[in-house]
Every structure is written in C-alpha cells, then in structure tokens.
Structure 1
Amino acid sequence: MSFNTPAGTRGARVPSGWAFRWLNKLMARRIRRKGGTFMGFNALVLTTVGAKSGLERTTPVGWFPGKDGSWLIVASAAGAAGNPSWYYNLAANPDKVQIEVDGRKTAVVAEQLLGVERADAWQQIIAAAPRFGQYQVKTDRELPIIRLVPRSTQESA
C-alpha cells in the first residue's frame, strides 16, 4: 500500500523546536524504562530511517491494537496542516522500521490503510481516543493511519 497523503492547507502548527525534541527524548526514555501509556493511551517508541538523511530517527507515538497482533498509529501531528516527519520516513523506508513496546524491540513493516480498512480503523481509534477526532477537525488533510506488522509475519504471508 502506498503512502500518499499530501499536506493540507490549514491546521495547527507542526510541533517542532528544541523543546519538542527534548520532550520526545524524555518520553521515549520513559516508555523504554516503564512502558505503559503516554498522554492517556498506549505508547511505543518508533524508530525509522530518515527519508533524506538515512539516519535512524526515534519518536514516541500512541498506538491502538490492530488485527492479527499489529499496531495502528496515526500521523496526526496534533492536527497540523503537514504530516509529521516520521510519516515521510515510513513512506521512504517502510521495511526499515522498528518499534519498542513493553520492553521488547520488534522489526515491523509499515503500511498505510486506505478505503474501508482505514474507515474501520478510524472508528476504532476515535472511540478509544476522541482527541484524534478533534485533531481531524483542525486540519483539511485526512490523517493517515499506519499499520505496523511484525516483519516475520509479513515475510511469511
């Protein structure tokens, strides 16, 4: 499945700056050490390969359970007009992704949900975390939903 969500024309500012990077590092360290939740929902540490730099990039993100042991994440950027950087990293390198959940590292493959699959997942997500519905209202881009599938499962399919 392709990553094809363009940036929007309206929305909140994309979170950035030294304070945001510092907070991301702090939260990633907390998630690695204690696991659990971040801002009220399950959290994981997402490691991608930079689309331009080729360097590993790490960020904490909220996740929701997907089918067959997968993880669903939303590229919301808190309702910003632009997609978060990690979305473009996943688009460039969907098979070079790793997550850390509950103290375990897992190699995964990223795929963007589209159509009915996305609609079903969106309903599940906003029922569990209404905040994402508020993010969608802030922007005119459709918030991408990404499914992370364990690489060994993906390779055997």
Structure 2
Amino acid sequence: MNRLMARRVRRRGAKFLGFNAMALTTVGRKSGLERTTPVGWFPGTDGSWLVVASAAGAPGNPDWYYNLAAHPDQVRIDVDGKTVDVRAEQLHGPERAQAWDQITTAAPRFAQYQVKTDRELPVIRLVPRH
C-alpha cells in the first residue's frame, strides 16, 4: 500500500487520512537503500513542512523516523507535484510545543495518538536544502 500511495502522491499530490500528503524518501539506516513512504504534513511557519512520527500512537516510532535520524541530510520529498531535497530537524522544547499546538489544532487526532503512547511523538521540520 505504501508504494502505491507514494506513487499517487508523487504524481499529483493527495490526501492521506484527510491530511495533505507527501512522499517522503529516506535512506535506510541499515540497508543504505532509498525508502519511500507517504506521510501527512503540516505547513511550517517558515516555509518548511512539519511531519509527526506518530505511528498512530503505537509504542515505537515508525521506521522512517530512524532513517531520518541516521541520515538527516539525505531526505527528499515529493509534494504538490514538486521534488525537493530537504534536511530533517527534530524539534524540541518551545519550538516543538509551538508546532505541536499548530498540528493538534489542525488535526486533533494527533493529540489522541499522544495519549495512547508513553513516548513523546517526534515532530520533524523538513527544511529545503539549497
């Protein structure tokens, strides 16, 4: 399903579970191979994109999160018909709190995901590389 959805998102943009969706391509932390998965995103206040490694509130982070952490400068997104090389930055402290408020206001289900798990859901900012 991820491959089919990622292909659709690449071509023309899409909604994923009611959210704006992008195809997120990372480099596998173990394999070194490119991995693409569809993820929902939210607009950052600075022209970046925000994604949440929620895994719908599962006990562990999704695999793509670990790939981002291992290779934050080897990330590409396909969003709104464009391909953009980005750098992944995990948000902490007040920056995360501000982004989290924005995300949970736009999509209250993320607050429900947070309640389902003991881990703090990572919020990642994807910034274009120039």
Q: Name the TM-score, length of structure 2 as normaliser.
A: 0.97
Fraction of identical pairs, as percent? 75
Matched, 1:98 2:73: no
Greater relative contact order (Cα < 8 A, sep 6+): 1
Larger Rg: 1
Structure (1/2) with the larger strand percentage: 2
Deviation (angstroms), 1:36: 2.9
For residues 43-80 of structure 1, the C-alpha deviation after alignment (integer angstroms, 9 at most, x for no partner) is 00000000011000000000000022100000001101
Uncovered stretches (5+) of structure 2, i.e. residues with no partner = none
Compute the RMSD of aligned alpha carbons: 0.8
| Counterpart in the other structure of 2:52 | 74
SS in 1 for 2:96: helix
Counterpart-to-counterpart distance in 1, 2:10 and 2:69: 25
Q: Which residue is 1:86 aligned to?
A: 64
Deviates more, 1:33-42 or 1:103-112: 33-42
CA contact (8 A) 2:91 2:123 kept: yes
Cα distance in 1 for partners of 2:76, 2:11 equals 17
Distance 2:76 2:40 in 1: 15
CA distance in 2, matches of 1:100, 1:28: 9
Is residue 122 of structure 2 the alignment partner of residue 150 of structure 1? no
Match of 1:45 in 2: 23
1:118 to 88, 93, 96: 96
Q: Which runs of 4+ in 1 moved over 3 A?
A: none
SS of residue in 2 equivalent to 1:89:
helix
Which is helix-richer, 1 or 2? Answer: 1
Q: If the length of structure 1 is used for normalisation, what is the TM-score?
A: 0.81
TM superposition shift of 1:87:
0.6
Aligned length: 130
